[in-house]
Amino acid sequence: MPRKLLNSELNRLTTDEFKQSAKYPLVLVLDNIRSQHNIGAAFRTADAFRIEKIYLCGICATPPTADIHKSALGAENTVEWQYVNNTIDAIQSLKNERYNIVTIEQVENSMMLNDYLPDKNRKYALVFGNEIKGISQEVVDSSDYCIEIPQIGTKHSLNISVSVGIVLWDFVQKIGIL
């Protein structure tokens, strides 16, 4: 029977090593996320895949808070983040830096995540929206691509923290990070 590894055996980076390490050309844009637990989970997933940065927009809470820390488990101290009041301002800034804006939303003519092939030589900003209202039409209109996570059950959406995990995993696999 295999033995469960101890945390000390996982060879993870220290906080200082993480901050000094090269990051992958992916950023998250969280658009009006109301749950601090979802924000914290996004930080933790961003840390797991060593992405560049998280943009917290609109009504998103910002670290430090006890609720963000509860699910981030310290990743709010490793992953670079910035608060931007208006999501469109964050998107425009990222476009100016030559990021492809990829909105994760159910829209007409969206591409299914499993069919989308990111270019390894491009930078991507992945936009995730409010738990109830999703992403505004204005943000959708500002996007280069709209991707949808295929679903076959009765619910109309996934929790944002689950969506962030699925999409980041898919991207890092396809662009060869892991």
| Rounded-to-integer distance, Cα 84 and Cα 24, Å | 21
CA distance 128 to 24: 18
* Domain spans, the chain: 17-174
pLDDT per position in the chain (178 positions), as tens? 999 998 888 888 888 988 898 888 899 999 999 999 999 999 999 999 999 999 999 999 999 999 999 999 999 999 999 999 999 999 999 999 999 999 999 999 999 999 999 999 999 999 999 999 999 999 999 999 999 999 999 998 999 999 999 999 999 999 887 6
Asked if the 17-174 domain carries CATH number 1.20.140.10, the reply is no
Residue 8 DSSP label: G
Give helix 36-48 / helix 160-174 axis angle, nearest 10°.
Answer: 20
